[in-house]
Amino acid sequence: MGKLQRLDLRARLVVEGFLTGLHKSPYHGFSVEFAEHRQYMPGDPVRSVDWKVFAKSDRYYIKQFEEETNLRAYLLLDTSTSMLFRGEADGVSKLRYAINLAASLAYLMNHQQDAVGLLLFSDTVNRLVPARSARIHLRVLLRELEIEARRAVRRQIREEEPRKTRIGRCLSYLAERIPRRGLVILMSDLWDENQEEILAALKHFRYRQHEVVVFHIQDPMEAEFPYRQEGLFVDVETGEQLNVLPWEIAREFRRKVEDRAAFYKRGCSENRIDYERILTRTPFDTALLRYLEKRQRLH
């Protein structure tokens, strides 16, 4: 229960901080919470006055944000073993970052009265929580995310077998089982050799009339490959070990990482899918704003 409360608190603090910054930014027009009022000030447009409140209180109040409640969204979270990688001692793993991001998105969606569901997958689909908009549903989602976080810790100490990634196959399976048209948000490192299969699965969601946002999550050490000393590199999904001289492969490794990201960015753009490459040190605001931008376009 304590960990669940911490995840809830972390998500709430992220969202409240994001909304506070958003209200002060050029994006002030976003519908980001329940209708809220402030006293009318000289210069405010008269059309913004809430006349129902005036009738009850005999005072002028401005309704700042309009409530919109008809979005249905699904958070798709990759829980494969490659997501456990953490390159910086004071950083977080890709999976923990994705869990915190998913919790923050769920918190924001739930407080907008949007229906939100959760899908966890690795080599197979592990958990599917249907989309609901009820306030109590948020605790169900957070509990599932915290359970997955604990499973990840067990996998790290090898109490369970590694989970290889089969992103494309899992996404194709899920595309057929999300019952209603809505918004699909994928959080994954996209670390799968079959890139064409993944892109085909994302196209499948579009064919089913879903809007899609892809958050391509990377560890800074993967993107930058700053290693300088000879060492033993281990494939976290296969256990394969390779003695590496980093200075001999750094340029080629970075090129392949960039080529992979460019492939997904190009493929997503061609299919009207929003793509965002995110490092685990990136503030969550980037992803939350991308969600709101997509939400605005859907209404």
pLDDT digits (tens, 9 = 90+) for 14-59: 988 888 877 665 544 444 443 455 565 555 566 667 777 777 777 7
According to the model, what pLDDT value does residue 268 have? 96
Q: Of residues 175 and 248, which shows the higher confidence score?
A: 175
Query: What is the CATH classification number for the domain harbouring 156?
Result: 3.40.50.410
Residue with tokens 């969601």: 205
pLDDT band per the 50, 70, 90 thresholds, residue 222: confident
Q: Is residue 16 part of a domain?
A: no
Please give the residue range of the domain that contains residue 248: 72-298
Residue 106 and residue 138 in contact, taking contact as beta carbons nearer than 8 Å:
yes
User: How many Cα atoms occupy the beta-carbon half-sphere of 6 within 13 Å?
Assistant: 6
Q: Compute the distance between CA of residue 194 and CA of residue 235 in angstroms, rounded to an integer.
A: 17
Domain end (from 45, 66, 87): 66
**Is 161 in the same domain as 43?**
no
**Is 55 in the same domain as 188?**
no
According to the model, what pLDDT value does residue 290 have? 85
**Is 236 in the same domain as 125?**
yes
pLDDT band per the 50, 70, 90 thresholds, residue 158: low
Per-residue pLDDT reduced to its tens digit, 73-131: 999 999 988 898 887 777 899 999 999 999 999 999 988 888 999 999 988 898 999 99
**Is 238 in the same domain as 99?**
yes
Element (H, E) at 126: strand 125-132
**Is 242 in the same domain as 172?**
yes
Kindly give the interhelix angle for 167-175 and 195-207, rounded to the nearest 10 degrees: 10
Q: Which amino acid is at 61?
A: Y
**Is 57 in the same domain as 89?**
no
Kindly give the interhelix angle for 246-270 and 195-207, rounded to the nearest 10 degrees: 20
Q: Is residue 245 part of a domain?
A: yes
**Is 49 in the same domain as 98?**
no
Give the alpha-carbon dihedral of 84, 279, 145, 295, to 10 degrees.
-150
Domain count, the chain: 2
Q: Is residue 102 part of a domain?
A: yes
**Is 47 in the same domain as 144?**
no
According to the model, what pLDDT value does residue 68 have? 42
Q: Is residue 26 part of a domain?
A: no
Average pLDDT over residues 295-299: 73
**Is 43 in the same domain as 94?**
no
Residue 218 and residue 280 in contact, taking contact as beta carbons nearer than 8 Å:
yes
Token digits of residue 136? 């109590």
> In which order are the strands placed within the sheet that holds 72-78?
125-132, 115-121, 72-78, 183-188, 211-218, 274-279
- Distance set, CA 96 to CA 117, 152, 169, 196 (Å): 19, 9, 23, 27
**Is 44 in the same domain as 134?**
no
Average pLDDT over residues 133-150: 91
Domain end (from 15, 41, 66): 66
Q: Compute the distance between CA of residue 216 and CA of residue 276 in angstroms, rounded to an integer.
A: 6
Per-residue pLDDT reduced to its tens digit, 52-82: 777 777 776 666 544 444 689 999 999 988 8
**Is 77 in the same domain as 216?**
yes
- Which positions ≥6 away from 226 have C-beta within 8 Å? none
According to the model, what pLDDT value does residue 132 have? 92
Element (H, E) at 39: strand 37-39
Per-residue pLDDT reduced to its tens digit, 163-217: 567 899 999 999 988 888 899 999 999 988 889 999 999 999 999 999 999 999 9
Q: Is residue 224 part of a domain?
A: yes
Residue 265: pLDDT over 90: yes
